[in-house]
Amino acid sequence: METNENVTTAQNPPHQPSPEAPVGTPFADFNLPEPLLRGLHESGYERCTLIQEQAIPLGLQGLDVAGEAQTGTGKTAAFLVPIFAHLLRDKSRTPGEPNVLIISPTRELALQIMQDAQAIGRHLGLKMLAVFGGVDYRKQAQALKEGVDLVAATPGRLIDYTKQGIFNPRHIKYLVVDEADRLFDMGFIADLRWILRRLPPYDKRQSMLFSATLGYRVLELTYEFMNLPRRVSVMPQTRTVSQVTQELYHCSSFEKLNLLLGLLKHEDWSRVMIFTNTKRAVDRLAFKLQAHGYPAEGTSGDINQVKRLKLMERFKSGELKILVATNVAARGLHIEDVSHVINYDVPSDPEDYVHRVGRTARAGAVGKAITLCCDEYATHLPYVEEFLGDKIPVVFAEDELFLPDDTPEYRRPPRQAQIEGQFRWTLFSGFAQDLQRLLIRFNRPVIPFHSALQNTPIEGCLPKMGVQFQSAFIRDERLFGLVHRR
Binding site for ligand AMP (CB under 6 A): 22, 44-45, 47-49, 52, 71-77, 116, 334
**Closer of 111 and 397 to ligand AMP (Cβ):** 111
Amino acid identity, residue 334? H
Return the ∠ at Cα 113 (arms to 109 and 115), rounded to 5°.
Answer: 115
**Contact residues for 453 (Cβ-Cβ < 8 A; gap 6+):** 428, 460, 461, 464, 465
102: nearest Cα among 181, 155, 161, 163: 155
Report the C-alpha gap between 449 and 455 in whole angstroms.
11
Tell me the helices (H) and strands (E) count for the chain, helix number first.
16, 17
Tell me the closest approach of the beta carbon of residue 457 to ligand AMP, in angstroms.
31
**Closer of 210 and 402 to ligand AMP (Cβ):** 210
**Closer of 334 and 475 to ligand AMP (Cβ):** 334
Tell me the closest approach of the beta carbon of residue 100 to ligand AMP, in angstroms.
16
**Contact residues for 198 (Cβ-Cβ < 8 A; gap 6+):** 162, 169, 170
Amino acid identity, residue 10? A
**Closer of 52 and 429 to ligand AMP (Cβ):** 52
Tell me if 233 sits within 8 A of 9, measured CB to CB.
Answer: yes
**Closer of 45 and 377 to ligand AMP (Cβ):** 45
Tell me the closest approach of the beta carbon of residue 126 to ligand AMP, in angstroms.
18
Tell me the closest approach of the beta carbon of residue 266 to ligand AMP, in angstroms.
32
Tell me the closest approach of the beta carbon of residue 232 to ligand AMP, in angstroms.
14
Tell me if 213 sits within 8 A of 250, measured CB to CB.
Answer: no
CB burial of 330-347 (b: ≥16 within 10 Å; e: otherwise) equals bbbbbbeebbbbbbbbbb
Tell me if 238 sits within 8 A of 206, measured CB to CB.
Answer: no
Report the C-alpha gap between 32 and 41 in whole angstroms.
12
**Closer of 123 and 334 to ligand AMP (Cβ):** 334
Return the ∠ at Cα 78 (arms to 72 and 80), rounded to 5°.
Answer: 110
Tell me the closest approach of the beta carbon of residue 20 to ligand AMP, in angstroms.
7
Tell me the closest approach of the beta carbon of residue 37 to ligand AMP, in angstroms.
13
Tell me the closest approach of the beta carbon of residue 157 to ligand AMP, in angstroms.
22
Residue 318 Rama label (left phi>0; alpha psi -120 to 50; beta): left
DSSP string spanning 437-476?
HHHHHH-S------STTTTS-HHHHHHHHT-EEEEEEEET
Distance (Å) of CA 237 to CA 14, 182, 272, 331: 8, 22, 26, 19
**Contact residues for 157 (Cβ-Cβ < 8 A; gap 6+):** 131, 132, 133, 137, 140, 477
Tell me the closest approach of the beta carbon of residue 336 to ligand AMP, in angstroms.
9
Tell me if 363 sits within 8 A of 245, measured CB to CB.
Answer: no
**Closer of 1 and 363 to ligand AMP (Cβ):** 363
Tell me the closest approach of the beta carbon of residue 21 to ligand AMP, in angstroms.
9
Tell me the closest approach of the beta carbon of residue 115 to ligand AMP, in angstroms.
8
Rg, Å, the chain Cα set: 24
Tell me the closest approach of the beta carbon of residue 23 to ligand AMP, in angstroms.
9
**Closer of 75 and 288 to ligand AMP (Cβ):** 75
**Closer of 48 and 176 to ligand AMP (Cβ):** 48
**Closer of 48 and 341 to ligand AMP (Cβ):** 48
**Closer of 45 and 84 to ligand AMP (Cβ):** 45
**Closer of 21 and 228 to ligand AMP (Cβ):** 21
Report the C-alpha gap between 119 and 100 in whole angstroms.
17
